[in-house]
Structure 1
Amino acid sequence: MSEIRVRPALLSDDPELARLDRVTWSTLHAVRPPLGENEDFFSEHSGPDTFLLAEIDGRLAGFIKMVPPTPLASNAHVRQIRGLAVDTWARGRGVGLELVLAAVAWARRQGALRVTLRVLGHNTPARRLYEAAGFTVEGVLPGEFFLDGAYVDDVCMGRLV
């Protein structure tokens, strides 16, 4: 099996990340509409410095986004995962877990003490992945989103770094 390589994102990764975001978009994990066909992946508030990428044999396999949850100094010791995607061809190869663990290590290097995230209650595969990476449920916002005709819980998870 090929080795998973995790690296920081570059501005030049934008087109491939936009493609990956479009092909993996689903209401299983997304509450916002998908990117438009000609829409950039990176934005003013979401630049390359907030993403780690996973590659297998030089091919983009997935990404994870991590940011401070707020701009407040009193919250500076926390980082929050705000996006994770693994391309269909790379699923089941450990890419998601590798990205999550790399993000936790990245947070530690930035001086963070905790990492948090929010995951949709019906996204069982993601919840299992985060649990495997040491995250526990810290709260649930019942029926927070209305997706595909059903109310879906927003599950808050966290762990120490």
Structure 2
Amino acid sequence: MIRKATLSDSLEIARLSSQLGYPVDVTQLEKRLQFISTHSDHIMYVMESNYVLSGWIHANVRFLIESPPFVEIAGLVVDSAFRGNGIGKRLVLACEQWAAESGFTKIRVRTNQIRSDAVQFYNRIGFTNNKSQYVFD
């Protein structure tokens, strides 16, 4: 079942985030999830079965000066025990539907080039690579 994330999902979302090398403090995650849940330009879905999350996706609207507004997938994690079962694709489709219902015709995702499995996944479900870039903090 795909549904909107709730604060009670925080521990499971943190567990899944750690699987991709992004450990997150549950208290901080709860604050972020609270923000996301109260802003209509963000969406976060989870895939749940028997009170266990097998994946999550977060997307938000991006407004930039140089291009028309679009929706960007900010994060997607599928539990390593469930990868290859279509969960990621179903979560992306849920975001695509949300984007379309919100009036957006473009959805974008960024992934690190070293995550070859993610690059292959996005290519397989119809995304095309438009550019490579450096990210500076």
TM-score (norm. length: structure 1): 0.69
Shift of 1:108: 0.7
Q: 1:84 aligns with which of 59, 72, 76?
A: 76
Give the structure 2 partner of residue 25 of structure 1.
20
2:3 pairs with 1:7: yes
In the TM superposition, what are the counterparts of 1:8-157 in structure 2 within 5 Å? 8-22=4-18, 24-26=19-21, 34-36=23-25, 39-43=28-32, 46-48=35-37, 50-70=43-63, 77-141=69-133, 144=134
Give the structure 2 partner of residue 151 of structure 1.
none
For structure 1, the 5+ residue unaligned runs are 27-32, 147-161
Higher-helix-fraction structure: 2
Identity %: 29
Higher-strand-fraction structure: 1
8 Å Cα contact 2:7-2:34 kept in structure 1: no
8 Å Cα contact 1:63-1:99 kept in structure 2: yes
In the alignment of these two chains, the number of paired residues is 132
TM-score (norm. length: structure 2): 0.80
| Cα RMSD, aligned residues only | 2.7
Structure 1 stretches (4+) deviating beyond 6 angstroms? none
